Structure 1
Amino acid sequence: MGDVTGAPPPEQPALAGLEVPAARRRRVAAPPGPAAHLPVARVCIDLAPPHLDRPFEYLVPENLDESARPGVRVKVRFAGQDVDGWLLERVADAEHAGRLLPLRRVVSLEPVVPPQVVRLARAVADRWAGTLADVLRLAVPPRHARVEGEAPAAPAAEPDPGHRPDAAPTSGRAGAPAWEAYRGGPAFLRHVLSGGAPRAVWNALPGTGDQRWAAALAQAVAVCLLGGRGALVVVPDGRDVDRVCAALREIGLDAVADGGTVARLVAEDGPAARYRAFLAVLRGHARVVVGTRASAFAPVADLGLVVCWDDGDQQHAEPRAPYPHVRDVLALRSELEGAAWLVGGHARTVEAQQRVVTGWAHEVTADRAVVRARTARVRALTSVELAREGPAAAARLPAPAWRALRDALAAGPVLVQVPRAGYVPVVACARCRTPARCDACHGPLGLTRGDGPPSCGWCGRLASAWRCGECGAAALRSMRVGSERTAEELGRAFPGVTVRVSGARAAGGVLADVPDRPALVVATPGAEPSAPSGYAAAVLLDAAVASAGERLGAEVDALRRWLAAASLVRAAADGGQVLLVGDGAARPTQALVRWDPAGLAGRELDERAELRLPPAVRVAAITGTRDAVAAVVARVDVPVVEVLGPVPLPPDDRQGGALEPEVRTLLRVPPAGGAALARSVAASVAIRSARREGGTVRVQVDPPDLL
């Protein structure tokens, strides 16, 4: 029998002379008519191509009139398939002259992208040459239908500035004692309380109790709530979220789950908890948001204060397109919504310093006498300082540091900061000192434990039969010592003393805090636990490793890591001391000894202005295959643009391990031309998308690492 695929089904023929019955017609319901009021919906479709970065118009059917509100998720027909989208607004007349397709359905009644979030997302997309859909995916957490059904959907209530009982702290501790130590601190809070929008860069000092940085942020949030407005605090990780939430509870601001007004937005809490907190903010049940990077877009009603803590932490930089930074997202939000802007940290970034120098923000700092009274005594144990020790000066833990650890352990816990995690992350040939590489993938070799063979840090293969390709020797020596090996060495040097390890790769993970009992706490940068009364001492090992590197801002980042650890130590009056061990870079070493992060940031900014590096200029990095990059750059039309490159990228820097060689071209303009550069680059990339040009291209405006 032949192939009848696709043929119509066989029919029984009628007998001759019989009447053939009429075919029964199927009754098709007429499509619903358009809504009587504002029948046109403008939708942002959730698709990646840059040439689709514009609202598309659809007809609102009469049966969706009530549910199709601005901000809701919708399904629409596009290019022959159903796609997701966000309904941005409804209008009376369409700009499109042809026939409009109707909305397929409303996915959820929750208006997840209110107007202020749409304005912010559009500004972020324009600032970083991205698309609105890319930014909205960062701003809105994935839908969780079960969580939506836990409470009826309701529009966010309009805040009443004259009604304060729900917003005011209930403990009667709404004062701000932590801010009295800073020049400009009380004035900043008074301005926030009166409904103003001041902008400040704050250098926080060490302290405990009401003087610690988390308590100071809680006091600023309480002042904002007393003024009848909401607040948003963005911190690098979940531990910092816990610290700020705990400080808020101390002044009577509880979580929404406990009947309070504080929402915690952290992705690590899981999809359900995150979406539940997001809905609490969206519906107006939460007036305060504390969270990590994505919470910068949280739809806080009547926003009065935005805070970014430790803006130099890399976790504030979004790794997905269009690669925005929390600090600058909150700056845009401050301008759009008239909110106060506060960037704080123990250190100061070059980007924050530029905002102070240009007058966009003011600094909030303590006088030198207050700095000396609140900080520990800092000593730099360089080779010059240790010259009297003779050959022992080259030890990783020289005698002065060993004696300081021994003496401090009698008074409480001691912190030891190590710049590298693991056991021995980097090894080299013991004879010629050539770094050891894997024979299979040429990745770096290291040791995961003391009694095992070296293994590759990239592919994980064991290198038990390794021999040096330069001299043929088989012996290895350590080039970098990690936190695990350091803890092992300290355990032998101080028998009977408890040794704790804190780090993402440690057996116990990252510790939040440690008791005040004597112990050695070995931690990698960013994983230092806090002690209730502060550490008796801190030793910062391998200063040369921590401050080395050719990347832009390496010295400023080293000082930020050192200050983060030093700020956990008791004041000098209480016996606290900090020892920096090793020949670190001169400028961050001196800045640590003087406790002067603003001075280092200012000198770094002056050098970047002279060399025309960000943030003194605006830069767009176009990376990809050579022909594709050349085509995108050729269409960029900015009057004062300076084209640098293309420069071939090494294989290790290729995106996603691309096999085809890639190049990078930099487009540099003065600060005033940054907006025009972003627009022109975005337009060129959209043309590339519409024409379906070959190759790959990746655009990053103001990339953090240019060197």
Structure 2
Amino acid sequence: MSRNDERPEEPAGGAPEQLALIRETVRKAKVPKAKPRTWRGAPLAKELPVARVLVDKGVLHLDKYFDYAVTQELDAVAQPGVRVRVRFGAGAHQVRDGRREGGGMIDGFLIERRAESDYAGPLAALAYVVSPEPVLSPELLALSRAIADRYAGSLADVLQLAVPPRNGPAEAKPSPEPLPPPGAPEAGTWERYAHGPAFLRELAAGGAPRAVWNALPGPHWPEELARAVVATLASGRGALVVLPDGRSAARVDAALTALVGKGHHTLLTADAGPQKRYRQWLAARRGSVRAVIGTRAAMFAPVTDLGLVAVWDDGDSSHSDDHAPFPHVREVLELRAQHSRCGFLLGATSCTVEAAQLVESQWAAPLRAHREHVRAAAPLIRTVGDEEVARDGAARAARLPSLAWQTVRDGLRSGPVLVQVPRRGYVPGLACERCRTPARCAHCAGPLEAADQRELHCGWCGRDAAGWRCGECGSVRLRARVVGARRTAEELGRAFPAVPVRTSGRDHVLETVPGAPALVVSTPGAEPVAEGGYAAALLLDGWAMLGRPDLRAGEEALRRWITASALVRGQAEGGTVVVVAEPSLRPVQALVRWDPVGHAQRELAERAELGFPPVSRMAAVSGRPEAVTAFLAAAELPADAEVLGPVALPVAEPGRPRRPGDPPVGEVWERALLRVPPGSGAALAAALKAAQAARLARGGGDPVRIRIDPPDIG
């Protein structure tokens, strides 16, 4: 075993001239290459006797390759891409995740075979090859290295996400022979989009189009995604589609099976057990199937001869991985499209700011429907402001304004009615009492907070905001946004006693509901699909989502509203949606016009003016105050980096739900945000990675967590 960057030590003393002479002599000297012949008496491989191995240690200061000798006994099976076991750190201790572990046997991947080693000393030999199955291809290795560099993480951590754990029985079972490619599909409902048929034709012809697809509301998007996959298969290439949850993946799986039958694709979701999941993954790697439909982990699926990568609803938080280095599906698939030179499709009924940026930068082309098709497919949107709710006697009695009450009664005559209620736990933000403009910091435009009777301060940079005045209307009065209801289902049950009430949420998510009259109360993201579509929908407590002190509050509220409204029948069929939120607000107006693209474009323009992501790149550094301070002092940040904060994070309480990255229970942590302009993102990631590696090499100390592109910077 060796570290490939070892150098001779310099003498501790001596004249400067002597030191200079020694350095020059060492620089010109040729270091003899290691040419192992035997290891503990065992003969080594005659050709390429050195194996370069990536050990399964996720710490950054060990993010490099190590050389091992290959015995003749392992020569045939020790091929690039296989899993191996090696002796690592014998007689020493290595640090991982703040804990010290003893040396010994460790897993790894064999990266390449070499004739010689850069290390001059004796090499330890590979202990054994876990399996002759090559699971790490050069393409997957290059992609994983790019992801590790982009997110300031280690290659080993990325490979833990990319390559599933081995399962012997699944590996021993042979995969079936691949089926011949299907024929090119008809355009079908893609005819409703201006360039939809042309997009399919280019995929079928072997092209690599890139598109941001603003899908029409209604039930057709799974079939449209499936047709894009079939068009790619018709060219003899593979396709990969990543969806936010198992329910949507099952819909695309069913649509693809209906178009071409079974055998052309496989489904990769978390619901499958380890053996089944590994068998399906191997089927893709071996080329038995050419298409993969799956959830987040499928973004690394080893599809042969990749021709299309697609992601549905990229704004869903499920697309952001909860494990280091926290990659996002959209970014991974963008890199795959570049590395593999294949097609790219980002689709959603809504539109994120990142999607709008891909179009504005001309990296991808827009794929939108004609306006007459939008008007025909979208339901009628009606609004109720909170001031109207306050004056409405029906709303005070049953928490439903009169318009919403009437809409429910009319909808129940012909089918189910969806009621969307925000989840509990949204943190109220502050806004101008007069015009409702969110209160933001004059220095960094972060959200203002007023906790524990303190003066106003910024939640990003921590500066005091005494003397705040609204930039829109000049008012100096603030209000807290309202929080969503917790007993909506019970209240609706009392208001409509003869109608069944179904709930769908975190504890129990419904996939579908019958087309019979019923009230379906759901939290955002858990809305079941109704047979024939919902007759109507209520979007309650809009302030609970719009009032979050988060950069994406408006964008996320609109995405959740459009996702729910897309399940409602079109306006021609009587579909109606009532949203309880201030009608003049931009997200509400975008919903009324069904214009998520225009909303995303305006958000992008404002963020560019203020230096917000995705125009800028951000990183979050969190830990105990002294650890964060020392880390920032040691990091060689780019010259154009701006440090916001640090600010204190909320103290985690026992029994409260915790998210990845939250501080340990009871500990006081701080977080600093680092912001750089366009073009400096790679330099920021490299600087943070180098600083973290140096800190860990010195012994670590208190943990410091780094997250590039944090999803929540509010």
Instruction: Classify the TM-score, shorter chain.
Output: 0.7 to 0.9
In 1, Cα distance between the equivalents of 2:67 and 2:614? 39
Report the CA distance shift for 1:421/1:146 in structure 2 as closer, same or farther (over 3 A): farther
In 1, Cα distance between the equivalents of 2:596 and 2:186? 28
The residue aligned with 2:253 is 245
The residue aligned with 1:698 is 705
Report the CA distance shift for 1:74/1:251 in structure 2 as closer, same or farther (over 3 A): same
Conserved in 2, the CA contact under 8 Å of 1:51 and 1:690? Answer: yes
Q: Secondary structure at the match of 2:640?
A: coil
Conserved in 1, the CA contact under 8 Å of 2:392 and 2:401? Answer: no
Query: 1:343-401: CA deviations, max 9, x gaps?
Result: 111111111111111111111111222211111111012246668x6544555211221
- Offset at 1:246? 0.5
Conserved in 2, the CA contact under 8 Å of 1:502 and 1:511? Answer: yes
Structure 1 residue 140 corresponds to structure 2 residue 163: yes
- Offset at 1:637? 4.0
The residue aligned with 2:437 is none
Within-5 A mapping of 1:169-208 = 174-208=185-219
Structure 1 residue 283 corresponds to structure 2 residue 286: yes
In 1, Cα distance between the equivalents of 2:625 and 2:576? 54
Q: Secondary structure at the match of 1:315?
A: helix
Conserved in 2, the CA contact under 8 Å of 1:263 and 1:286? Answer: yes
Q: Secondary structure at the match of 1:142?
A: coil
The residue aligned with 1:662 is 669
Matched residue type, 2:237: R
The residue aligned with 2:500 is 498
Query: 1:140-194: CA deviations, max 9, x gaps?
Result: 1111122222338x9xx9x9xxxxx62216xxx8212222211222232222222
Conserved in 2, the CA contact under 8 Å of 1:645 and 1:665? Answer: yes
Count of residues in Structure 1 that have an aligned counterpart in Structure 2: 602
Conserved in 2, the CA contact under 8 Å of 1:293 and 1:315? Answer: yes
In 2, Cα distance between the equivalents of 1:616 and 1:287? 36
Conserved in 1, the CA contact under 8 Å of 2:394 and 2:400? Answer: no
Identity %: 51
TM-score (norm. length: structure 2): 0.80
Tell me which of 9, 26, 43 is aligned to 1:33. 43
- Offset at 1:286? 1.3
The residue aligned with 1:56 is 66
Within-5 A mapping of 1:28-427 = 31-80=41-90, 81-151=104-174, 166-168=180-182, 174-208=185-219, 212-254=220-262, 260-383=263-386, 390-392=392-394, 394=396, 396-420=399-423
In 2, Cα distance between the equivalents of 1:659 and 1:419? 28
Report the CA distance shift for 1:201/1:606 in structure 2 as closer, same or farther (over 3 A): same
- Offset at 1:479? 6.4
RMSD: 2.4
Q: Secondary structure at the match of 1:68?
A: coil
Larger radius of gyration: 1
In 2, Cα distance between the equivalents of 1:479 and 1:232? 39
Report the CA distance shift for 1:230/1:298 in structure 2 as closer, same or farther (over 3 A): same
In 2, Cα distance between the equivalents of 1:36 and 1:315? 49
Conserved in 1, the CA contact under 8 Å of 2:39 and 2:124? Answer: no
In 2, Cα distance between the equivalents of 1:681 and 1:383? 45
Report the CA distance shift for 1:584/1:687 in structure 2 as closer, same or farther (over 3 A): farther
In 2, Cα distance between the equivalents of 1:126 and 1:420? 35
Within-5 A mapping of 1:273-672 = 273-383=276-386, 390-392=392-394, 394=396, 396-420=399-423, 480-482=484-486, 485-505=487-507, 509-583=508-582, 586-633=585-632, 634-652=634-652, 655-657=662-664, 659-672=666-679
In 1, Cα distance between the equivalents of 2:40 and 2:603? 69
The residue aligned with 1:3 is none
Q: Secondary structure at the match of 1:580?
A: strand
- Offset at 1:30? 6.0
Query: 1:321-341: CA deviations, max 9, x gaps?
Result: 111100000001110011111
- Offset at 1:705? 1.2
The residue aligned with 1:7 is none
Query: 1:206-240: CA deviations, max 9, x gaps?
Result: 233xxx11011000000000011100000011101
Conserved in 2, the CA contact under 8 Å of 1:421 and 1:524? Answer: no
Matched residue type, 2:503: V
In 2, Cα distance between the equivalents of 1:658 and 1:697? 16
In 2, Cα distance between the equivalents of 1:122 and 1:60? 25
Report the CA distance shift for 1:411/1:79 in structure 2 as closer, same or farther (over 3 A): same
Q: Which runs of 5+ in 2 are unaligned?
A: 1-37, 91-103, 429-481, 653-658
Matched residue type, 1:264: L
Conserved in 2, the CA contact under 8 Å of 1:375 and 1:571? Answer: yes
The residue aligned with 2:479 is none
Q: Secondary structure at the match of 1:589?
A: helix
Matched residue type, 1:233: V
Matched residue type, 2:127: R
Q: Secondary structure at the match of 1:43?
A: strand
Report the CA distance shift for 1:206/1:77 in structure 2 as closer, same or farther (over 3 A): same
Report the CA distance shift for 1:660/1:490 in structure 2 as closer, same or farther (over 3 A): closer
Conserved in 2, the CA contact under 8 Å of 1:397 and 1:581? Answer: no
In 1, Cα distance between the equivalents of 2:367 and 2:276? 36
The residue aligned with 1:12 is none
In 1, Cα distance between the equivalents of 2:126 and 2:161? 24
In 2, Cα distance between the equivalents of 1:494 and 1:292? 38
In 1, Cα distance between the equivalents of 2:483 and 2:617? 38
Q: Secondary structure at the match of 2:400?
A: coil
- Offset at 1:493? 2.0
Matched residue type, 1:46: D
Matched residue type, 2:712: D
Q: Secondary structure at the match of 2:42?
A: coil
Matched residue type, 2:501: V
- Offset at 1:91? 2.1
Query: 1:531-569: CA deviations, max 9, x gaps?
Result: 231111111111121322001201110111111110011
- Offset at 1:694? 1.8
Conserved in 2, the CA contact under 8 Å of 1:545 and 1:584? Answer: no
Query: 1:396-433: CA deviations, max 9, x gaps?
Result: 211221111111111112111111369x999xxxxxxx
Using the TM superposition, name which of 579-588 and 228-237 deviates more.
579-588
Report the CA distance shift for 1:60/1:585 in structure 2 as closer, same or farther (over 3 A): farther
Using the TM superposition, name which of 512-521 and 642-651 deviates more.
642-651
Query: 1:463-494: CA deviations, max 9, x gaps?
Result: xxxxxxxxxxxxxxx96423xx3222222222
Q: Which runs of 5+ in 1 are unaligned?
A: 1-27, 160-164, 255-259, 427-477
The residue aligned with 1:8 is none
Report the CA distance shift for 1:479/1:569 in structure 2 as closer, same or farther (over 3 A): closer
Q: Secondary structure at the match of 1:74?
A: strand
Q: Secondary structure at the match of 2:498?
A: coil
- Offset at 1:635? 2.7
In 2, Cα distance between the equivalents of 1:656 and 1:641? 25
Q: Secondary structure at the match of 2:279?
A: helix
In 2, Cα distance between the equivalents of 1:584 and 1:117? 48
The residue aligned with 2:13 is none
The residue aligned with 1:445 is none
In 2, Cα distance between the equivalents of 1:403 and 1:218? 39
